[in-house]
Amino acid sequence: MLLSPALAISAVLFVLGVAGVLFRRNAIIIFMCVELMLNAVNLTFVALAQSLGMGGQVFVFFVMAVAAAEAAVGLAIILAVYRHKQSVSLQNMNLLKDG
């Protein structure tokens, strides 16, 4: 009975995450937006687990574990980039561009 509002909230959260990744330049905010998308997906899993079985809830733990690992690596990268460039803006991270 709470399925529809739960899915709606998760969709909103996901779109917010996508929009943040697309339009923000700050690496930390983009990183948080990625987390937001992951958790929006988690919410969908949990909501659907009510009707489709426990598999969704188990999967959420996997996603959280991966997200934790990703947070560790991702934050380390951002820290390294900041030490190197004194900035975490993605606009400065264009070394692959040909001049």
Partner 1 sequence: MTGTAVDLIWLAPALALLGFVLNGTLALTRPNSKTLVSVIGAGVLLAAFAVAVAVFSAFAGLHAEEPFVFRYWSWIPVGTLQIDFAFQVDQLSLIMLLVVTGVGSLIHLFSIGYMKEDPGYARYFAYLNLFIFFMLVLVLGASFPVMFVGWEGVGLCSYLLIGFWFSEAANATVGRKAFIMNRIGDFGFMVAMFMIFWSTGSLDFGTVFTHAPNALAAGGKTVTVITLFLFLGCTGKSAQIPLYTWLPDAMAGPTPVSALIHAATMVTAGVYLVARCNLLFAMAPVSSAVVAGVGALTALFAATMALKQWDIKKVLAYSTISQLGYMFLGVGTGAISAGIFHLVTHAFFKALLFLGSGSVIFALHRAYHHTHSHEDAQDMRNMGGLARYMPWTTALMWIATLAIAGVPPLSGFFSKDEILTSAYARGQGDVVWLVFWGLALVAALLTAFYMTRLMLYTFHGPNRTGEKEQEHLHEAPWIMTGPLLLLGIFSAAGGVINIPELYHGNAWLHHWLEPITQSSAPLLPAEHLAPATEWMLVGIAVAVALTGIVGALRLLKPEALVPAAKAPEERGFARILKNKWYVDEIYDALIVRPLVWLSREVLWKQIDQRVIDAAGVNGAARGARAIGWANRWLQNGQVGVYVAVFVVGVLLILWRATS
Q: Give the footprint of partner 1 on this chain (CB under 8 A).
A: 18, 21-22, 25, 90, 93-98
Burial of 2 (C-beta count, 10 Å sphere; 0-12/13-18/19+) = exposed
Question: What is the closest distance, in whole angstroms, from the C-beta atom of residue 96 to partner 1 in the complex?
Answer: 4
Tokens 């990625």, residue located: 34
When the beta carbons of 7 and 18 are compared against partner 1, the nearer one is: 18
Q: Which is nearer to partner 1, 4 or 99 (CB)?
A: 99
| Number of C-beta neighbours around residue 18 at 10 A | 15
Amino acid making up residue 98:
D
For residues 34 and 47, which CB has a smaller minimum distance to partner 1 in the complex?
A: 34
* Best CA proximity match to 75, nearest among 17, 12, 32: 32
